[in-house]
Amino acid sequence: MPCFSLTSLLLVAEEAAAAAETVESTGLLNMDRLPLLGVTVFFVVAVVFWISVARSGGEIKVREIAGLKAIEEAVGRATEMGRSVLFVPGIQDVSEIQTIAGITVLSKVAKTAAEYDAKVEVPVARTLVMVTARETVQEAFLAAGRPDAYNEDLIYYVTDEQFGYVAYLSGMMVREKPAACIYMGCFYAESLILAETGNSIGAIQVAGTAMPAQLPFFVAACDYTLIGEEFYAASAYLSESPAELGSLKGQDLAKVLAFGLIGLGALLATATQFVPSLQGAFDFFTGTLLG
């Protein structure tokens, strides 16, 4: 037994020595990736710094987004005409980040509607979105001091079926003719049908999505469109939360750095064609810095 234990210990020692040699030869850190680590640290520090600036009361300016400023105009028009406001939060579930961004905008729409005493109707394609939207609208009405005006029956589930949902919305829009139609979320082929139907009834339309293939339809048929990252920035723009504003500013700085690296890479690639001696610098830039 002691012999067996000694043999086992020797085997373990040999394996440990071999592992140590491997670690020594490869290293715990890949030094070639240090520039990439520096970029990551820069991004993290920028976000944390601007969050701390926002929390300490520093001013962080966010570019005005025309589509969000138009929401008050759209709700005001609906109030003047005595018609409703239709809000469509996309066709995906709450696990989709675009749906969450849409619900954030819904909070602003609902609060404005409560202040103007306008009706907001929110048909949804997912039951969990219905629950989330109801809680969001209820909180918005409470914040506006109008909890008695909240009606959960105006936020209801239709169907999970894509074109069954859009067929219902199109029919409702033609029958009830809402004064304002707001589309904020993840959309697919139904975007064109919704936007065209809203345009045909003369409604003021505000749309926002991060789906590149659907943006042309919204831009063509809607009065205002939040394009790509404007849609995600809406949350920080509306809430004015220090954490969200700081994150937004930090991400903008990271984008500036990324654009600078892309520009430098393009210049190096061009210069290498005329000065072959720069090939080493270009290889370092693409292979080490960019990875």
Provide mean pLDDT across the span 175-202. Answer: 94
Q: Is 240 exposed, middle or buried (0-12, 13-18, 19+ CB in 10 A)?
A: exposed
> pLDDT confidence of 6, banded at 50, 70, 90?
very low
CB 195 within 8 A of CB 224: no
CB 75 within 8 A of CB 118: yes
The helix/strand/coil state of 181 is strand
Q: What is the CATH code of the structural domain delimited by 66-227? A: 3.40.50
pLDDT per position as a tens digit, 28-39: 666 667 777 887
Alpha helices, H only, 27-148: 34-55, 66-81, 97-116, 127-143
**How far is CA 283 from each of CA 33, 40, 265, 277, 289, rounded to the nearest angstrom?**
14, 21, 10, 11, 9
pLDDT per position as a tens digit, 96-153: 989 999 999 999 999 999 999 999 999 999 999 999 999 999 999 999 999 999 999 9
Other CB atoms within a 10 A radius of the CB of residue 107 amount to 18
> How open is the CA angle 167-168-172, to the nearest 5 degrees?
120
Two tokens, residue 265: 């890479």
Nearest to 103 by CA among 83, 126, 82: 126
pTM of the model: 0.78
What is the domain partition of the chain in residue ranges?
Answer: 66-227
> How open is the CA angle 137-141-147, to the nearest 5 degrees?
120
pLDDT per position as a tens digit, 201-256: 999 999 999 999 999 999 999 999 998 888 888 878 887 778 888 888 888 888 88
Provide mean pLDDT across the span 40-63. Answer: 85
